Amino acid sequence: MNTTHARRIRSFVRREGRLTSGQQKNLELLWPRYGLAMPEAPIDWAAEFGREAPRTLEIGFGAGEVLADLAVRYPDEDFIGIEVYLTGVGRLLGAVDAAGASNVRVFNLDAVEVLAAGFADASLDNVLLYFPDPWPKKRHHKRRIVQPGFADEIARVLKPNGLWRLATDWANYAEHMRETLDAHSSFENVGDRDGFVSEPPRTGTRFEARGLRKGHAVFDMAYRRLP
């Protein structure tokens, strides 16, 4: 019997930079407080945070600027981040600890695997996906994380009327996101400017700044999970 299985195409390639001494210290001291391992069953988030509150997940939080800002500005809400690069995790842990924020939990794992294992149906109020790897070459477009199957999974974990916010500084990827999600039966585009969001409720990121320096336009989108 042929036991060979097709390998899932990953949307990222590990290009881990060198940890600074501060990031390493943050990981050693703060991971026990904020970090989570791969769950064996869907997590009871109310038990994890010790309360029932609006809940936001950011996938691929990069250096953590958005997640840290939200956690500090909205102490009555809870925030979960998934990031594969330890440099970004170290930065985020330092920022939330310095701010005294206790409403953050972090995974250093593949988002697709964590979503499937750790999140029950309708367990999130918001999902954020800001500046994912654009995979600009046409032969690599299959690696882009925004695909119909991934949209199915986001629809599963979002509550009815929950929001999925996205951003990219690659026009071709923005078109791909729009084509994929505008056609999805579980989502409604709620952009205010020809299907895009004119004033996104987020702080800037270093990935965004890098794109702007290169002359890229930035495209923000928002989709509501239909009941």
Is 194 noted as a catalytic residue in this protein? no
Q: What are phi and psi of 112, to 5 degrees?
A: -60, -40
Query: CA-to-CA distance for 91 and 20, rounded, in angstroms?
Result: 10
How many C-alpha atoms does 134 have within 13 Å on its Cβ side?
A: 18
**What span, in angstroms and rounded, lies between the C-alpha atoms of 93 and 90?**
5
Angstrom distance (rounded) from CA 91 to CA 19? 10
Alpha carbon distance 92, 185 (integer Å): 35
Point out the catalytic residue in the list 44, 78, 121, 133.
133
3-state secondary structure of 215: coil
Catalytic residues: 133
